[in-house]
Amino acid sequence: MNKNVFKILFVLIGLVLSGCGKEMFSASKTKQLDKTSPIVKNTSQSCSNFTHIKPEVDFLFLWDNSTSSVFLNDQTKAALNNTIDLVSSRFDYHMLLAPLIGSGNTNAKLISETPDGLSSSALNMKIDRSLAAQTLSSFPLVNHNSENGVERVRELLSLNINNGVFRQGAYTIIVVMSNQDDNSWVVGAVPSAYDRNNYINTKLDDILCLRGHHTSPCTGPSINSQQMRFISIVAHQEDCNGTNSSFDQNFVYKKMSELLYGAYYTGGVSSPTDQAGRSAVDSYNICDISDFTRLFDGVNNSIQDQVIAHKYNYWPVATSGAAAIDPAEITVRKNTGETFPLLQEPVPMGSDGFSFTNVVQTQNTRYLPTPGEPFTGYLIKLYGAAQITYPECMTVTTQTPKEWFGYVNIQNKPVESSIILKINGQIIPQSASNGWELVKSGSQPAYFQSFNIKIQGPGNYSPGYPAVNKSGYFLKLNGNAVYSNGANIEIDFLPSGT
C-alpha cells in the first residue's frame, strides 16, 4: 500500500471520529435495580381477661349470738378466716362483723384492705384481719326470744353509709347466719302469713332504697350498689328433720334472699344470674352442712360469680411507633366470629362498628366498672355490639397504606437516548402521556439533592407523605406508568460523560 492510500485512510478515520459524540467514549451501560417497600399486614389479638384494679366489695356479716346458737365454734372461726383469705386476694374489701342480736354499731368490728375513705367513727371499729375469729368470741351471748335480723340489716346499712364502710357503687354482700328465723313480725296472739309477708315486703323496700337503683321513690341516703345480695345460712327444715331441735325452719331470711336477688335494677345496672336453677336462691341449708369449715362455701361461690366483667369502648390497634395504617383496610373480628364495619364520625345512634382516628393518642380503653386500662398509640373506637365485654377477645388486622410513586430515581447522569425502563418486567416507553419523561433543566438532565418521588396517586402529582426522598436524576412517569408498593424497578442507561 502506497503513501497516498495511508493518507486517504487517515483522513477518513479522522472524519468518522470527528462525527461521533463524546458519549461513545464514556463508561459502559449501567443497570440500576430498585424495589419499593411492600404493603405490610399486621394481625394482633388481645382479650379482656386482665384487671388493673380490684373491684370494691363490701360485706356485712351478722353472726348469730343467741344462747341457742351453734355457730360460734372453732370450725366456724376457721371458715370465716378462709373466707377473708379468699376475699383479700381478689377484692378491695370492707367487712363489717356484727352480732345478729344487738343495737347499732355496738360490738361491731371492721376489717378492710386499706383505711382509705373511712371516717374516724369507722376507723374506731377497724381491727386487723388476724383478729377476725377472736372478734366472734367477743360478741355477747343473748338469751332472747325475739329475733329481728332483717331490721338489723337495715339498721347497720343505714348507720354505715356516710362513714365509708359501705361505699358508693360497690358490690354489697349481706350474710346472715342463724339457727332461728326473724320473728319480729309477730304481733298479738294470732300471727298470720299476711303479717309476715307484709313485714318482708316493707323491709325489702327499705333495704332496696338503701341499695339504690330502685324502681320505687325513696328518701334518704343510698349506696347505689353495683349489686346487693342477701345470703342466708339457715335451716330449710324444722329441727333439720328431727336431728337438731335447736333449728327452726326458716322462711323470712330465706325469702329475703330470694326477693333481693330478683329485685330489678334501674339505670342499666345488670341483675345477677349465678343462682339460676337453684331452688333456694342465695340461701344455704345449714342442715346439709356436716363440716362447719365448709359453712361459707355458698358465700365463696357467690364471690367467685361476682367477678366484674370489664367493658371496653376503645381497643388498641398499634403502638405509637408502628408503621402508617390504612383506615380502609382495618378488619375487626371478635372471637365469636362477628366482624364489624368502619364507621365515619359522627356515628349515628344505634350503630354497630368502629371508627378510627389515624393519630397517636392516649385513651382509657375501659369504661366500666370504672374508666381505666389506658393505652398510648393507635386505637379504634367501638360502638354498639362491637364493644368488648369480658371474656371476649378481639382480632384486629391492619395494613400499611398503598403508596404511589410518580418518579424513578437515576443515580448517575444518563444519556437520554440510552434509557430503558422496566417496571415489574414491562418496558415503559418514553412518552409524555403514558410513559416516562426525563426531568431536565434546560436541555440537560436536572440534578436534585433531595427529591420526593412519592405522589398522592395516579393523575395527582402533589407530594405524598411521609416523603421518600432521593438524590440524583429523575424520570417523571405519566399515565399508567406510575407504580405502587412492591414494584421492581430496572433501569438500563449509558452514563453521560459530561
By C-alpha distance, which of 172, 201, 370 is closest to 272? 172
pLDDT the model gives residue 335: 93
When mean pLDDT is compared over 38-42, 170-174, 445-449, the highest value belongs to: 445-449
Based on the fold, state whether residues 249 and 317 are members of the same structural domain: no
pLDDT the model gives residue 367: 93
Domain holding 361, by residue range, is: 42-50+310-399
Share of the chain above pLDDT 70, in %: 89
Q: Which of 286, 305, 324 is the last residue of a domain?
A: 305
Based on the fold, state whether residues 205 and 118 are members of the same structural domain: yes
Considering only residues 154 and 237, tell me which one the structure prediction assigns the higher pLDDT: 154
Return d(Cα 42, Cα 341) in angstroms, integer.
18
Q: What is the pTM of this model?
A: 0.56
* Per-residue pLDDT at 31 exceeds 80: yes
Q: For residue range 446-461, list pLDDT tens digits in order.
A: 999 999 999 999 999 9
The answer to whether the CB of 461 falls within 8 A of the CB of 406 is yes
Q: Residue 154 falls within a domain, yes or no?
A: yes
Q: Mean pLDDT across the stretch 299-321? A: 79
Q: Residue 12 falls within a domain, yes or no?
A: no
Q: Which of 376, 399, 422 is the last residue of a domain?
A: 399
The DSSP annotation for 45-106 comes to EEES---SSPPEEEEEEEE--BTT----SHHHHHHHHHHHHHHHHH-EEEEEEEESS--TTT
Residues 6+ apart with CB under 8 A from 402: 39, 326, 484, 485
Q: Residue 195 falls within a domain, yes or no?
A: yes
Q: Mean pLDDT across the stretch 485-490? A: 94
Min mean pLDDT across 54-63, 187-196, 295-304, 449-458 is at 295-304
* Per-residue pLDDT at 482 exceeds 60: yes
Q: Which of 354, 380, 399 is the last residue of a domain?
A: 399
Q: Residue 4 falls within a domain, yes or no?
A: no
* Per-residue pLDDT at 10 exceeds 70: no
Residue 24 binned pLDDT confidence (cut-offs 50, 70, 90): very low
* Per-residue pLDDT at 488 exceeds 80: yes
Mean predicted lDDT score pLDDT of the chain: 87
Total domain count, the chain: 3
From residue 330, alpha-carbon distances to 43, 318, 343, 359 in Å are 10, 11, 11, 15
pLDDT the model gives residue 8: 45
